[in-house]
């Protein structure tokens, strides 16, 4: 009997692997030509290669928006204090989207505020990725949110989200392609995005080394906020349609209506665009009050690569220096070629990422380290984050600085999952103040908690001993899943 069970699971895994491998890749625009200088990325007519499956390009690549206020929010209690403050003072709408929502003091405080604001008449909409957590205590929080009547999309009871009426067993694309965007949008007036999820490791809530993570968000006020609102509403509609297209026994909205938990039918559009005014929200001490900002996102399920294209453009058009701080790095051929070409042009490039002890993605570090040698031989400097307490707490930030006044902050990792699988979002910001502050923070704080990789280390990791070599070669087969 036990043997048969193991055979069943092995066959199922083999089927899933074969199905997934057939759906992951699409052309990555390795020869996409450089168009203009770096600042061309802000133009409405920037020549993105548009996916034929993109229903409305204006919701994924709206033009650059001048006159935006920007405030940097490094992960920690202060950042979450700002997030709590803006939702606590919402007057019309709150729209939140997260990849992970753990059941801990940080998330429970956020949920309590949302419940209170909804009771006051504020429209609250919340999107959480369906598959990120299976731990019962975390799932309990979702159920409690639904029971309280919060308008929750993405999470679904009994893990129905992979099922639909065309394929009643599983949908491999939906199992593997995640919604990794992060949005806090209040009253169509203020928005926050970056790498931070809603849980205590991002808030440095407890003095526990394992939970001391480094991350980076950006808060924006100004015309770019409406681009966030439209992106959120499109995601909200996607999940609503997906649910309502299923037969009743597989339709969580039907269960909610039958149980009287939620009277709002799932197929309707997220409402309006908020007030667009500050209301009771009083924000100050911005790092820039007149920045040019472009919001860009992509959804690989629709064959989109817009964030990938933006990164390639800025790497290829850099004139002096590039700083990359990113939690998960496994460069695809186009990215690798762009970095090597930039280094050969004399561009000063610094990369900061996790060491093996702080990397929370199992098995990724050997793959990341395998490519260090080629990068360092071209003159690129690489640092590995060691943790605020050595070996504890992950680097989770995802930002880049190009030359003196261009920055990227968002949810996008430089790895195949963010390119092939996950929906992602970034802000491209033209601001000398923002670029200076990110670079200074990296050089004075993050590098103090990092170790520079030597050529000897890179050579060792490029030619590992026998057990590590076997793992690296095996992992390379499935590199598109990391």
**H or E stretch covering 183:** strand 183-186
Evaluate whether residue 107 is within a structural domain: yes
At residue 140, the pLDDT reads 83
At residue 335, the pLDDT reads 97
Evaluate whether residue 38 is within a structural domain: yes
Same domain for 126 and 214, yes or no, is yes
Same domain for 442 and 345, yes or no, is yes
**H or E stretch covering 154:** none
3-state secondary structure of 212: coil
The answer to whether 195 touches 327, Cβ cutoff 8 Å, is yes
Output the CA–CA distances (angstroms, integers) from residue 379 to 50, 75, 105, 349, 459, in the order listed. 34, 31, 45, 8, 14
> What is the mean pLDDT of the segment spanning 134-155?
82
The answer to whether 293 touches 224, Cβ cutoff 8 Å, is yes
Q: Cα(222)–Cα(123) distance, rounded to whole angstroms?
A: 21
At residue 242, the pLDDT reads 77
- Is residue 31's pLDDT more than 60? no
Evaluate whether residue 134 is within a structural domain: yes
- Is residue 423's pLDDT more than 90? yes
3-state helix/strand/coil string of 279-332: CCCCCCCCCEEEEEEEEEEECHHHCCCHHHHHHHHHHHHCCCEEEEEECCECCC
What is the pairing mode between strands 450-452 and 424-430?
Answer: unpaired
Residue 60: band (very low, low, confident or very high) from pLDDT cuts 50, 70, 90: very high
More confident residue, 208 or 101: 101
* pLDDT tens per residue across span 273-328: 434 777 889 999 999 999 999 999 999 999 999 999 999 999 999 999 999 999 99
Buried/exposed 86-102: b ≥16 CB within 10 Å, e otherwise = bbebbbbbbbbbbbbbb
Greatest mean pLDDT range, 3-7, 226-230, 273-277: 226-230
Same domain for 32 and 94, yes or no, is no
Weakest mean pLDDT among 5-9, 207-211, 257-261, 319-323: 5-9
- Is residue 392's pLDDT more than 60? yes
Q: List the CATH number of the domain containing 72.
A: 3.30.870.10
Same domain for 218 and 319, yes or no, is no
Count of Cβ atoms closer than 10 Å to residue 454 Cβ: 12
Greatest mean pLDDT range, 99-113, 158-172, 313-327: 313-327
> What is the mean pLDDT of the segment spanning 347-376?
95
At residue 11, the pLDDT reads 43
Evaluate whether residue 340 is within a structural domain: yes
The answer to whether 75 touches 212, Cβ cutoff 8 Å, is no
Same domain for 183 and 308, yes or no, is no
Weakest mean pLDDT among 85-99, 143-157, 223-237, 238-252: 238-252
Q: Is the dihedral of CA 152, 416, 446, 321 positive or negative?
A: negative
At residue 50, the pLDDT reads 97
Q: Cα(36)–Cα(41) distance, rounded to whole angstroms?
A: 9
Instruction: Find tokens 């770019």 and name the residue.
Output: 224
Residues 6+ apart with CB under 8 A from 84: 109, 110, 113
> What is the mean pLDDT of the segment spanning 74-98?
95
At residue 324, the pLDDT reads 98
Instruction: Find tokens 């004399």 and name the residue.
Output: 346
**What does residue 162 show for φ and ψ, rounded to 5 degrees?**
-85, -5
Residue finishing a domain among 235, 259, 283: 259
> What is the mean pLDDT of the segment spanning 404-428?
96
At residue 7, the pLDDT reads 43
Beta pairing partners, 258: none
Evaluate whether residue 351 is within a structural domain: yes
- Is residue 229's pLDDT more than 90? yes
Same domain for 246 and 304, yes or no, is no
> What is the mean pLDDT of the segment spanning 412-416?
97
> What is the mean pLDDT of the segment spanning 452-474?
83
Buried/exposed 407-432: b ≥16 CB within 10 Å, e otherwise = bbbbbbbbbbbbbbbbbbbbbbbbbe
Q: Cα(448)–Cα(74) distance, rounded to whole angstroms?
A: 16
Beta pairing partners, 69: 221
CA atoms within 13 A on the CB side of 15: 10
Q: Cα(182)–Cα(298) distance, rounded to whole angstroms?
A: 13
Same domain for 202 and 239, yes or no, is yes
Evaluate whether residue 226 is within a structural domain: yes
Evaluate whether residue 265 is within a structural domain: no
At residue 75, the pLDDT reads 84
At residue 232, the pLDDT reads 98
Same domain for 242 and 369, yes or no, is no
- Is residue 479's pLDDT more than 90? no
pTM, two decimal places: 0.88
**What does residue 72 show for φ and ψ, rounded to 5 degrees?**
-80, 140
Task: Provide the domain count of the chain.
Answer: 2
Measure the CA angle with vertex 438, ends 400 and 393; round to 5°.
Answer: 85
Q: Which domain holds residue 174?
A: 67-259
What integer best gives the mean pLDDT of the chain? Answer: 85
Q: Is 334 exposed, middle or buried (0-12, 13-18, 19+ CB in 10 A)?
A: buried
Q: Which of 46, 58, 34, 42 is nearest to 430 (CA)?
A: 42
Same domain for 323 and 233, yes or no, is no
Q: Which two tokens stand for residue 212?
A: 């001391």
Residues 6+ apart with CB under 8 A from 167: none
Same domain for 322 and 251, yes or no, is no
Evaluate whether residue 129 is within a structural domain: yes
At residue 241, the pLDDT reads 83
- Is residue 249's pLDDT more than 90? no
Same domain for 245 and 305, yes or no, is no
């Amino acid at each position: 009997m036990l043997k048969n069970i193991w055979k069943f699971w092995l066959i199922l895994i083999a089927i899933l692997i074969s199905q997934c491998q057939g759906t992951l890749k699409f052309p990555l625009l390795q020869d996409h030509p450089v168009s203009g200088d770096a600042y061309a990325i802000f133009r409405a007519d920037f020549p993105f290669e548009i996916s034929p499956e993109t229903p409305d390009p204006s919701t994924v690549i709206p033009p650059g928006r001048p006159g935006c206020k920007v405030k940097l929010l490094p992960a920690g209690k202060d950042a979450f204090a700002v997030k709590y403050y803006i939702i606590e003072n919402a007057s019309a709408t709150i729209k939140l989207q997260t990849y992970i929502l753990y059941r801990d003091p940080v998330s429970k405080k956020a949920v309590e505020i949302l419940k209170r604001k909804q009771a006051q008449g504020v429209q609250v909409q919340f999107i959480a990725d369906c598959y990120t957590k299976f731990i019962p205590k975390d799932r309990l929080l979702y159920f409690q949110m639904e029971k309280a009547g919060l308008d929750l999309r993405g999470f679904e009871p009994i893990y129905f989200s992979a099922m639909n009426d065309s394929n009643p067993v599983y949908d491999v694309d939906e199992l593997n392609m995640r919604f990794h965007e992060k949005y806090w949008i209040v009253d169509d007036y203020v928005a926050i995005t970056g790498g931070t999820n809603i849980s205590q490791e991002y808030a440095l809530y407890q003095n526990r080394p394992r939970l001391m993570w480094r991350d980076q968000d950006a808060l924006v006020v100004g015309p770019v906020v409406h681009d966030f609102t439209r992106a959120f509403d499109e995601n909200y509609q996607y999940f609503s349609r997906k649910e309502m297209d299923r037969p009743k026994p597989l339709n969580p909205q039907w269960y909610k209506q039958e149980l009287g938990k939620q009277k709002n039918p799932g197929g309707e559009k997220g409402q309006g665009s908020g007030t667009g005014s500050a209301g009771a929200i009083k924000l100050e001490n911005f790092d820039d009050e007149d920045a040019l900002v472009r919001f860009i996102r992509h959804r690989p399920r629709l064959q989109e690569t817009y964030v990938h294209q933006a990164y390639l453009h800025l790497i290829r058009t850099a004139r002096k220096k590039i700083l990359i701080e990113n939690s998960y790095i496994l460069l695809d051929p186009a990215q690798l070629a762009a970095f090597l070409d930039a280094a050969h042009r004399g561009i000063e490039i610094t990369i900061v990422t996790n060491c093996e002890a702080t990397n929370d993605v199992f098995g990724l570090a050997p793959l990341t380290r395998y490519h260090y040698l080629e990068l360092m031989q071209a003159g690129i400097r690489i640092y590995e984050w060691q943790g605020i307490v050595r070996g504890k707490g992950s680097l989770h930030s995802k930002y880049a600085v190009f030359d003196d006044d261009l920055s990227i902050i968002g949810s996008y990792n430089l790895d195949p999952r963010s390119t092939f699988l996950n929906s992602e979002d970034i802000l491209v910001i033209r601001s000398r103040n923002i670029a200076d502050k990110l670079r200074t923070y990296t050089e004075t704080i993050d590098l103090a908690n990092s170790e520079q990789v030597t050529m000897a280390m890179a050579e060792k990791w490029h030619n590992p001993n026998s057990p590590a070599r076997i793992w690296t070669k095996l992992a390379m087969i499935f590199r598109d899943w990391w």
